[in-house]
Structures are given as structure tokens and as C-alpha cells.
């Protein structure tokens, strides 16, 4: 028997046991410290509904696909313009979640002149928003937002339809949303860094956002609706808002309002833009954006304007295909106190200007863009019983345009020329 080897093995075992005992003692003294859950943790469910009655006037449609537009009978249609179910949760003091589902367009007639999905096209139940906020500082200066949400560009696109002052949202939001993400909801997966700077400075504040996204939905590529094709590039979006006077918010959020119900005296000026490199649909996709919101007691004025550009290279017709367009809106309203509630007369004008000539339209379509022109005029009243959470509306909307591929000529599954409409409705959040 080799006593030296046996002694060596025994020594190694004793050393190992000593080390394990030391680690065990250290582990007992240094127990893991887990992140404490929010003592005020709660889950807040909510429901949002827009129940509308729409009288359509002067609608025309190419019902048999022969290129000839026919007058269709005027109609009154009651439907759910928008409907949402969701919840918010705050499991940690620095982390919260939002999940929203949708079932828009239930009961909508295809030849109703207002926007949105109709009963036989696109009505379903799905995810509208799904994102988290992670607060990385004691102040509101650094917040990470991640998930499925709207890139922060264009005041109208990132303001809820329940918080705008016209009868419906200014439809240029759809032009910028399709330009950025390829779908009308404007939602796409991404990560955003944002926050409020000079939040404690009286009379001045900066709200900033910068994000990276990966839009994958397109209807212009062969082979499907959920790919950017053989080439892929991320979408970069940024927006900075300079607030003078009263700020829009003291706590950071990616949702906005238009009416502060006589409580705000301030001006917000926003500047932003987007950049996306080559995909299977285009070589370059960019935008520049400016917007503003003025609240001066009972007076509310807001607007935005976008310059949209897309280049196709050899992906379309005639070599280098360049699509340029501009779109935006301006809107004003005034709060009148009536028995402690607010009656709000409001007016709005929206415009889209795209390619008009046949060859230019063909080039725009080759890179998946819109064409023609589109104007909308809105005049009406809102009656607020509980801010935007319980609001009655009555509005008349005039819609005009020129042939092309745009919101005046397009309806799910149909080629149309939109008529005018009168809407009465109830917008409610519970």
C-alpha cells in the first residue's frame, strides 16, 4: 500500500471539506437579496368604447371592378368604431406593464364613409398594445419602453383617438403609420429610450424619445404579409418636444392629450424623424416631422406636418424610384363651461399630397407607397361629462381627393370615392 498517496488523498478531502464549510458559512451570512415587490401592486382592468351612428352622404364605389364608380344609396349605420379591453399592472415600483386588445368595426357597413375596419374585413380580436416601462432613474429622465407599441413620431399618431378633439383622428396618422410600420395601427416591436429633462424647471421642459424597431408587415411583397423580403434593416425613430409654460406631463408616458380642460397654459413644439435602410421593398425610407400643441386656458390648437420620402432603386419601375409626399393637419377648439361640464366646438383640416401623374404614381406604388391627394374638413361639437372618459360627439366631415392609392379611394376590399358623413356618438372609458 502506498501510504503517501493515501495521506495525499485524505489531505485533499480535508481541504475540500474546509472550503465547503467556509462557503456554507459565508452563504448563511450573505443571504440573497431579491428585488422587493411593489407594496401597492395592483392590476387595473379597463374598457374603451366608441359607439357611433354614422349617416353617409354621396359615397361612390366600383362594385364590379370594371373601373366605373357608381353612386350608392345614403345610409345610417350604428357600429363600434373602436373597442378595447386591457389592463395595466405595476409589480415593481420602477416597472409597469400595459396590455390592450381590440375588436374594432363590429357592425360597420362596408359603404359607410367613415374610416376603420368593416364587419366583413379585418374585424377580429387581437393585440393592440403590449409594452413595459422600466424607470432607470429616481427622476423621470430615463425610462426604457419595450414591446409592441407606436414609434414616437407624429403627435396625431401617438395621441389616443379618445383624447383628440375632432370627431375622428386626422387621417394623416395613417399615412405616417404605413410609411413607418406598414400597417394602419402603427404598432411594431421595438425598444425606446425616453424621458423628461428639466422636469423641475418652471416654464421649460424637454420630452425626448429615441427608438429602434423592426417592422415586418407589408402587403406589397410577393409571398406574404409578414416579411420585409430578402434584405432587412431596422427602423430608427426619434422625437424631441420643447415645452414652454406649463408642461404636457410631469410623469413620463408615451400617450398624449389635446385638451387639458382649461388647466394648462403652455406651448409644445415637437421635432422628429425616421430612418430605415434597404429592405426587400425599398432602398431607403425616411421622414421628417414637426408638430405643436397650444393650450391657453379654454383654447386648444394643435397640428403636425410630415415630409415622407422613399427610394426604390432597381426594385420598381424605371430605375431609381423616388416617392415624396407631405401630409398633416391643423385643428382648433374652445372649451365652454356649461353647468360644470364642457361644451367644445372644434374645427379641423387635414391634407395629404402625393404623386399625381400616372408614371409618378406607378413609381410610388412600386415601393409600397400612397399616391394622389386627400383632404378632410371636420366641424362639430364635443360634450365632456367626465373629461375624455365620457364624451358625446356630433360632427360633420367633408372628404375630398384625387384618384390614386390613398385614404379617399381605399376601403378594405373595395375601390371607392369616400362621401361625406355626419356622426353622433358616445366615447367612453371605464
Q: Domains for the chain: give ranges and CATH numbers.
A: 36-429 (2.40.160.10)
Choice between 76 and 218, residue whose per-residue pLDDT is larger: 76
- Give the pLDDT band (50/70/90) at residue 289: very high
Task: Provide the pairing of β-strand 420-429 with 390-401.
Answer: antiparallel
Classify residue 7 by burial, with Cβ atoms within 10 Å: 0-12, 13-18, 19+.
exposed
Instruction: Report how far Cα 94 is from the mean position of its chain's Cα atoms.
Output: 24
Q: Is 208 helix (H, G, I), strand (E, B) or coil?
A: strand
pLDDT of residue 174: 94
Q: Which three cell numbers stand for residue 246?
A: 406649463
Give the position of cell 393592440: 128
Choice between 124 and 282, residue whose per-residue pLDDT is larger: 282
Give the number of other CB atoms < 10 A from CB of residue 219: 10
- Give the pLDDT band (50/70/90) at residue 293: very high
Q: What is the mean pLDDT of the chain?
A: 90
pLDDT of residue 316: 64
Average pLDDT score over residue span 62-81: 92
C-alpha separations of 148 from 86, 88, 98 in Å? 14, 15, 10
Q: Which run of H or E residues covers position 242?
A: strand 235-245
Judge whether residue 353 has pLDDT over 90: yes
Choice between 322 and 155, residue whose per-residue pLDDT is larger: 155
- Is the separation of the CB atoms in 105 and 79 below 8 Å? yes
Judge whether residue 318 has pLDDT over 90: no
Q: What is the pLDDT of residues 81-109, one digit of tens each?
A: 999 999 999 999 999 999 999 999 999 99
Amino acid at each position: 500500500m502506498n501510504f503517501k498517496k493515501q495521506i495525499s488523498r485524505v489531505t485533499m478531502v480535508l481541504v475540500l471539506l474546509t472550503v465547503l464549510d467556509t462557503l456554507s458559512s459565508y452563504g448563511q451570512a450573505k443571504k440573497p437579496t431579491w428585488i422587493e415587490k411593489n407594496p401597492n401592486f395592483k392590476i387595473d382592468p379597463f374598457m374603451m368604447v366608441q359607439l357611433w351612428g354614422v349617416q353617409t352622404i354621396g359615397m361612390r364605389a366600383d362594385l364590379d371592378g370594371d373601373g366605373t364608380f357608381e353612386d350608392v344609396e345614403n345610409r345610417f349605420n350604428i357600429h363600434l368604431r373602436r373597442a378595447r379591453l386591457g389592463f395595466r399592472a405595476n409589480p415593481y415600483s420602477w416597472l409597469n406593464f400595459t396590455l390592450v386588445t381590440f375588436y374594432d368595426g363590429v357592425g360597420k357597413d362596408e359603404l359607410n364613409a367613415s374610416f376603420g375596419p368593416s364587419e366583413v374585413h379585418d374585424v377580429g380580436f387581437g393585440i393592440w398594445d403590449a409594452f413595459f416601462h422600466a424607470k432607470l432613474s429616481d427622476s423621470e429622465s430615463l425610462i426604457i419602453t419595450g414591446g409592441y407599441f407606436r414609434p414616437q413620431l407624429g403627435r396625431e399618431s401617438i395621441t389616443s383617438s379618445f383624447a383628440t378633439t375632432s370627431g375622428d383622428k386626422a387621417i394623416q396618422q395613417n399615412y405616417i403609420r404605413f410609411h413607418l410600420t406598414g400597417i394602419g395601427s402603427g404598432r411594431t416591436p421595438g425598444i425606446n429610450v425616453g424621458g423628461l429633462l428639466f422636469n423641475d424647471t418652471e416654464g421649460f421642459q424637454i420630452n425626448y424619445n429615441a427608438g429602434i424597431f423592426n417592422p415586418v408587415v407589408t402587403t406589397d411583397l410577393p409571398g406574404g404579409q409578414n416579411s420585409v423580403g430578402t434584405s432587412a434593416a431596422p427602423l430608427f425613430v426619434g422625437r424631441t418636444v420643447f415645452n414652454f409654460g406649463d408642461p404636457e406631463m410631469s410623469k413620463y408616458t408615451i400617450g398624449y392629450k389635446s385638451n387639458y380642460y382649461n388647466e394648462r397654459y403652455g406651448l409644445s413644439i415637437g421635432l422628429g424623424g425616421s430612418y430605415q435602410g434597404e429592405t426587400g421593398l425599398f432602398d431607403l425610407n425616411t421622414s421628417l416631422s414637426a408638430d405643436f400643441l397650444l393650450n391657453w386656458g379654454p383654447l386648444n390648437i394643435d397640428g403636425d406636418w410630415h415630409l415622407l420620402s422613399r427610394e426604390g432603386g432597381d426594385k420598381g419601375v424605371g430605375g431609381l424610384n423616388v416617392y415624396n409626399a407631405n401630409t398633416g393637419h391643423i385643428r382648433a377648439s374652445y372649451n365652454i363651461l356649461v353647468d360644470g361640464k364642457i361644451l367644445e366646438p372644434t374645427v379641423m383640416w387635414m391634407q395629404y399630397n402625393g404623386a399625381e401623374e400616372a408614371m409618378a404614381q406607378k413609381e410610388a406604388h412600386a415601393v409600397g407607397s400612397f399616391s394622389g391627394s386627400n383632404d378632410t374638413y371636420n366641424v362639430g361639437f364635443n360634450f365632456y361629462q367626465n373629461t375624455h372618459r365620457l364624451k358625446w360627439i356630433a360632427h360633420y366631415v367633408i372628404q375630398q381627393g384625387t384618384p390614386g392609392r390613398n385614404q379617399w379611394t381605399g376601403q378594405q376590399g373595395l375601390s371607392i370615392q369616400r362621401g361625406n358623413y355626419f356622426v353622433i356618438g358616445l366615447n367612453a372609458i371605464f
